Amino acid sequence: MFIKDIFNSKKPVLSFEIFPPKQESKVEEVEKAVKEMANLPIDYMSVTYGAGGSNSKNTARIASYMKDNLSVTSLAHLTCVANTKDDIENILNEYKSLGIENILALRGDKPRDYDGELFPGYSHASELAEAIKKHGCFCVGGACYPECHPDSPNIDVDIENLKNKVDAGVDFLVTQMFFDNNAFYNFRDKMIKKGINVPVTAGIMPLTNAGQIQRMAILSGGASMPSKFMKMISRYEDNPAALKQAGIAYAVDQIIELVSNDIDGIHLYTMNKPETAEKIVTVINSLF
Ligand code: FAD
């Protein structure tokens, strides 16, 4: 099923993000986690793509596993960094042959230890989105950044580029994680003013352990952390059980407020943890 059709038929939409393993030996472990999460009432699951292709086979494998074995709509990520146009064509043919219908078109960042040409095919996600649309038969998503992508000089330039990406064929958007809902509301207002009117689903990452804090700061590209969030971290960072409980409660609070403010969807960065996903969904289930 095309994800744009899910957005047309219900609101809000609930989705999870999974990352595939780098090693073959871990595929079954991830499939087990995906299977547990598929029992929850979700609308689709996305599978990330290792920029540079480090785990690209496993992205396709997990995305088709959830679709074929668990009847869950899948969204396979794809990055253009370090890929030639022929590489992209081959991956699109593979996705198509596996019956994958939804692709999140991304630029990606420089892969670690990669010294080759960074963008030998497409330089921006908008170019990739256009190529995927030309290839045909795919619903295409794109990423967006409520607090501005780090490469952009300011949010207005970033939104201008986002508008071009949507015009190139992006059917829906998924946001970078954020911890301050006001950042999202301001961004949504700017998008509406710019005439961007595809559905936008909000990326929420629950904090479940102290080790995640630094990673979150890097992954989020410097998302602002409100004082309420920082106080929670400093109060509980040495108490793993309390931090996990508080982190999940914080994510739940964010979601309830977003849903009350007419959001198109929530995309949970589940970090392959069925237990965390279940704890959150059990509380918010009837909001969806
Ligand atoms: P783009 O849309 O190309 O934007 C990147 C920068 O270029 C922005 O600053 C933009 O304003 C600017 N720009 C765009 N078009 C132009 C133009 N024509 N001229 C000048 N500047 C322009 N990474 C992975 O490796 N694998 C994943 O699976 C993955 N999944 C992600 C999922 C989500 C929801 C998000 C938010 C990010 C994900 N990322 C992933 C990270 C992503 O690859 C990086 O954030 C990357 O830096 C930007 O990707 P993009 O697709 O947003 O790029």
Tens digits of residue pLDDT in 190-237: 999 999 999 999 999 999 998 888 888 888 888 999 999 999 999 999
User: What distance in angstroms lies between residue 234's CA and the mean position of ligand 1's atoms?
Assistant: 31
In ligand 1, the atom with minimum distance to the C-alpha of 105 is: 51
Residue 14 phi/psi, 5° resolution?
-115, 130
Whether 56 is in the pocket of ligand 1, judged by its Cβ within 6 Å, is no
Active centre residues (catalytic): 17
The structural domains of the chain, ordered by start, are: 3-287 (3.20.20.220)
Residue 251, pLDDT score: 98
Residue 233, pLDDT score: 94
Mutation to probe ligand 1, out of 161, 164, 220 (largest number of atoms < 8 A from CB): 161
On the question of pLDDT at 54 being above 80, the answer is no
User: What distance in angstroms lies between residue 58's CA and the mean position of ligand 1's atoms?
Assistant: 21
Query: If we measure between CA atoms, which residue out of 78, 43, 73, 84 comes closest to residue 60?
Result: 78
Q: What distance in Å separates the CA atoms of residue 205 and residue 203, rounded to the nearest whole number?
A: 7
User: What distance in angstroms lies between residue 208's CA and the mean position of ligand 1's atoms?
Assistant: 26
In the chain, what's the furthest Cα-to-Cα distance? 52
Query: If we measure between CA atoms, which residue out of 47, 44, 41 comes closest to residue 7?
Result: 44
On the question of pLDDT at 13 being above 90, the answer is yes
Name which of 44-53, 83-92, 278-287 the model is least confident about. 44-53
Q: What's the mean per-residue pLDDT of the chain?
A: 95
On the question of pLDDT at 116 being above 90, the answer is yes
Amino acid at 83: N
pLDDT, one tens digit per residue, over 154-179 is 999 999 999 999 999 999 999 999 99
Mutation to probe ligand 1, out of 3, 17, 91, 149 (largest number of atoms < 8 A from CB): 149
On the question of pLDDT at 50 being above 80, the answer is yes
Residue 28, pLDDT score: 95
Whether 52 is in the pocket of ligand 1, judged by its Cβ within 6 Å, is no
Classify residue 218 as exposed, middle or buried by CB count within 10 Å of its CB (0-12, 13-18, 19+): exposed
Euclidean distance between the first and final Cα of the chain, in Å? 19
User: What distance in angstroms lies between residue 143's CA and the mean position of ligand 1's atoms?
Assistant: 6
On the question of pLDDT at 272 being above 90, the answer is yes
On the question of pLDDT at 244 being above 80, the answer is yes
In ligand 1, the atom with minimum distance to the C-alpha of 125 is: 3
Whether 49 is in the pocket of ligand 1, judged by its Cβ within 6 Å, is yes
- Report, as an integer, the average pLDDT of 88-117: 96
- For atom 45 of ligand 1, the residue with the nearest CA is 108
On the question of pLDDT at 55 being above 80, the answer is no
On the question of pLDDT at 52 being above 80, the answer is no
In ligand 1, the atom with minimum distance to the C-alpha of 149 is: 9
- Report, as an integer, the average pLDDT of 54-80: 94
Q: What percent of the chain lies above the pLDDT cut of 70? A: 99
Residue 60, pLDDT score: 96
Whether 178 is in the pocket of ligand 1, judged by its Cβ within 6 Å, is no
Residue 113, pLDDT score: 87
Label residue 268 by pLDDT band (50, 70, 90).
very high
Residue 221, pLDDT score: 83
Whether 126 is in the pocket of ligand 1, judged by its Cβ within 6 Å, is yes
